[in-house]
Amino acid sequence: MSAAPERRVHIIDHPLVQHKLTLMRRKDTSTKTFRQLIHELSALLAYEVTRDMPTQEVEVETPLEKTTGRVIDGKKTVLASILRAGNGFLDGMLEVLPSARVGHIGLYRDPATLKPVEYYFKMPSGMEERDVIVLDPMLATGNSAVAAVDLLKRLHPRSICFVCLVACPEGIANFHGHHPDVAIYTPAVDRGLNDHGYIVPGLGDAGDRIFGTK
């Protein structure tokens, strides 16, 4: 049986994570610095997200003798980036998980309805034996995250989790209302949403700040 939704939210409160997130929140942080910070922060998040990843015992031969050790079980992990802002997570995550496969989910938010519109979906083969880490900097309304996991579940991966920089209560409630079995990993749960569907206090539009488009 799935855990209660509130137990499926993992707050990553490591001091380095919180420090870097605070620097990212500053409105005068440059595009270059913001990009570097999300790269560093995503690598730190990767350690936390993979903490409970299943392993299996294998035999290895050291320069001195044979022994046993543990390696990650199953096929390579999939990093599923919700375009475009999710791509800001990829480089840092891939430093920690260099053999991971990468999938992309193209969704944009209709400015009138705030609902996600799908325009691209591409995942590696053999998803039934893979663990998926969904990447999107913000869990605001939660609509894009719900749509992304809807698409992924059609491929029946072994497990799915969702990673973001900042979440809010409305987004968490919406997401776990549809997918109570999918854990959320985030350094921060902010106060809520404004009239435009942005997280407050938040850090602005993550995609614009990563790519310098505003």
* Catalytically active residues, by annotation: 109, 113, 205, 208
Pair of tokens at residue 5: 């939704």
State the residue for tokens 């893979």.
Answer: 130
Are 199 and 172 a contacting pair, CB within 8 Å? no
CB 201 within 8 A of CB 190: yes
Cα(42)–Cα(37) distance, rounded to whole angstroms? 8
Cα Rg of the chain, angstroms: 18
Neighbours of 184 (CB within 10 A): 24
Amino acid at 20: K
